[in-house]
């Protein structure tokens, strides 16, 4: 063999579980063993974001906050001076939280970001101790811009590109490995915003977009992507290849291994995104522009969710009725997870916690003669995903139909709402029919 080819420049993201005390040494080796240009992106270390979230729950007790600070110190040993600064800043912000007595969106976001800031400082320190020049980089200071929408902000890719390049290129030129915080960015008004749970995946593809790089690796602790959550479906199979569209549907319909917006920058630039396991190098999933050679069949479970049934006279044909309903909900702060309609019945699915509020907001539509509103009813959404999925309708389990409260379908998804307590059972039955039996040799 000739000289080995330098791998293409790659953004490599390490998730929180891959940075746990047990796994972290492997993550460090993984990175040190790489050739070619690399930017690392890190999540908060395992459990840290959950702990910070717990601090935001009232009552805001000093003891609890002091304990958390101590844990943060222990979880990020040997922090360089800049990292020590984050601990002090976190201490100040927790104190502010106790004084204000309310977790304002701004304060909450600020507090949550210390998980990633500490992680980047600590990880860069580990690399330096192993002789690799590395530097922690905070994504908000770097200029990763977001639109600031609370809870679900979008990264403004074009607006971020120039400053991201300006920040990272000089480091890369000097052979310094940037370790960038995942999960956060800066809104136009300068506020820091977090990207939602699992948001570091999205940070990774967004940074690759800004750099004009075509490779991203999302490194998880154990499994890559599977045909279903292996904790719920023991027979879940590894998935080796899928398309952006399929990956996006999986994330939207509840697969927790991927943040729902991760594929947006990747699709825009036709990147190759690999999801791989740190424990087992054979576990790899490649997400790319087209579908894989084997048709994907994967399942997700989202729930419990709340189902509301609104019957409007004139039905869905009534001009603007869908817009009125969804606007009323969004103005009241409720996000519609999915919506099915028949001629006069709108079946609206929202997050469980938002069910009662959605009911109140929809109440005004019942003033029309003949209109009715039922719910919120606890449900689970079981979704089958894969290009050409509707050709599988004949494989659906025989006992299923009476359980189905509503369904929506496209050429690559079939999403069924079923009673909340039957979700896992339906998920397993669908997995058996669509994934496991499909593989069995024809008799």
Strand (E) or helix (H) holding 41: strand 38-42
Q: Say if residues 356 and 394 touch (Cβ distance below 8 Å).
A: no
Cβ proximity to ligand ASP: between 49 and 338 the closer is 49
Rule CB under 5 A: choose which of 28, 31, 41, 43 binds Mg ion. 43
Q: How far is 106 from 96, CA to CA, in rounded Å?
A: 12
Residue 231 structure tokens: 């904790």
For ligand ASP, which stretch binds (CB under 6 A), given 59-67, 195-203, 266-274, 400-408?
195-203
> Which stretch, 14-22, 170-178, 285-293, 432-440, contacts Mg ion (CB under 5 A)?
14-22
Alpha carbons 167 and 165: distance in angstroms, whole number? 5
Contacting residue, 10, 11, 13, 16, with Mg ion by CB under 5 A: 16
262 binds ligand ASP (CB under 6 A): no
- Say whether residue 115 binds ligand ASP (CB under 6 A): yes
Task: Report d(CA 92, CA 108) in Å as an integer.
Answer: 13
Stretch that binds Mg ion, among 36-44, 150-158, 277-285, 388-396 (CB under 5 A): 36-44
Q: Verify binding: residue 182, ligand ASP, rule CB under 6 A.
A: yes
Binding flag, residue 178, ligand ASP (CB under 6 A): no
Burial bucket for residue 393 (CB in 10 Å: 0-12, 13-18, 19+): exposed
Q: Are 154 and 261 in contact (CB under 8 A)?
A: yes
14 or 244, CB closer to ligand ASP? 14
Member of 114, 183, 253, 359 binding ligand ASP (CB under 6 A): 183
Point out the residue whose Cβ comes nearest to Mg ion: 16
Size of the site for Mg ion (CB under 5 A): 3
The interface partner of residue 273, options being ligand ASP, Mg ion, none and the CB cut-off 5 to 8 Å by kind, is none
Per CB under 6 A, 200 contacts ligand ASP? yes
- Minimum Å distance from CB 111 to ligand ASP? 12
Regarding 49 and contact with ligand ASP (CB under 6 A), the answer is: yes
Q: Name 13's bridge partners.
A: 41, 218
Choose from Mg ion, ligand ASP, none: what does 296 bind? Cβ within 5-8 Å by kind: none
Could you tell me how far CA 58 lies from the centroid of its own chain?
Answer: 26
Q: How far apart are CA 197 and CA 304, in angstroms?
A: 18
> Is the backbone peptide bond immediately before 376 cis, with ω within 30 degrees of 0?
yes
- In sequence order, which residues have a C-beta less than 8 Å from that of residue 421 and are 6 or more positions away? 378
Which of 15, 54, 10 has its CA nearest to residue 33? 10
Q: Which residues of this chain interact with ligand ASP, rule CB under 6 A?
A: 15-16, 43-44, 49, 115, 182-183, 197-200
Q: Which residues of this chain interact with Mg ion, rule CB under 5 A?
A: 15-16, 43
């Amino acid at each position: 063999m000739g000289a080995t080819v330098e791998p293409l420049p790659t953004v490599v993201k390490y998730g929180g579980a891959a940075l746990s005390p047990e796994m972290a040494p492997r993550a460090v080796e993984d990175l040190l063993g790489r050739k070619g240009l690399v930017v690392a992106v890190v999540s908060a270390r395992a459990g840290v974001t959950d702990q910070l979230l717990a601090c935001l729950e009232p009552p805001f007790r000093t003891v609890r906050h002091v304990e958390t600070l101590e844990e943060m110190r222990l979880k990020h040993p040997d922090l360089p001076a800049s990292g020590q600064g984050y601990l002090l800043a976190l201490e100040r912000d927790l104190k502010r939280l106790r004084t204000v007595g309310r977790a304002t969106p701004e304060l909450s976001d600020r507090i949550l970001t210390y998980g990633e800031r500490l992680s980047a400082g600590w990880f860069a320190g580990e690399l330096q101790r192993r002789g690799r020049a590395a530097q922690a980089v905070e994504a908000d200071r770097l200029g990763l811009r977001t639109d600031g929408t609370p809870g679900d902000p979008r990264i403004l890719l074009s607006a971020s590109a120039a400053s991201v390049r300006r920040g990272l290129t000089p480091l890369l030129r000097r052979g310094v490995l940037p370790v960038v915080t995942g999960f956060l960015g800066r809104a136009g008004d300068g506020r820091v915003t977090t990207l939602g749970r699992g948001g570091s995946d999205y940070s990774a593809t967004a940074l690759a977009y800004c750099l004009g790089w075509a490779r991203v690796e999302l490194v998880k602790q154990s499994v890559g992507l599977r045909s279903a959550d292996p904790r719920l479906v023991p027979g879940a199979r590894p998935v080796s290849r899928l398309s952006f569209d399929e990956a996006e549907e999986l994330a939207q319909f509840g697969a927790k291994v991927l943040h729902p917006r991760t594929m947006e920058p990747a699709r825009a630039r036709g990147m190759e995104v690999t999801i791989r396991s740190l424990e087992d190098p054979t576990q790899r999933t490649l997400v790319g522009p087209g579908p894989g050679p084997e048709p994907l069949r994967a399942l997700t479970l989202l729930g419990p969710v709340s189902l509301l049934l609104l019957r409007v006279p004139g039905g869905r044909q009534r001009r603007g009725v869908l817009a009125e309903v969804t606007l009323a909900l969004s103005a009241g702060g409720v996000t519609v997870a999915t919506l099915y309609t028949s001629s006069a019945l709108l079946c609206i699915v929202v997050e469980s916690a938002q069910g009662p509020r959605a009911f109140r907001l929809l109440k005004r539509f019942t003033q029309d003669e003949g209109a009715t509103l039922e719910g919120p009813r606890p449900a689970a959404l079981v979704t089958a995903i894969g290009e050409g999925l509707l050709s599988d309708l004949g494989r659906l389990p025989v006992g299923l139909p009476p359980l189905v409260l509503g369904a929506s379908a496209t050429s690559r998804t079939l999403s069924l709402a079923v009673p909340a307590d039957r979700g896992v059972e339906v998920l397993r039955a669908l997995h058996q029919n669509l994934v496991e039996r499909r593989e069995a040799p024809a008799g």
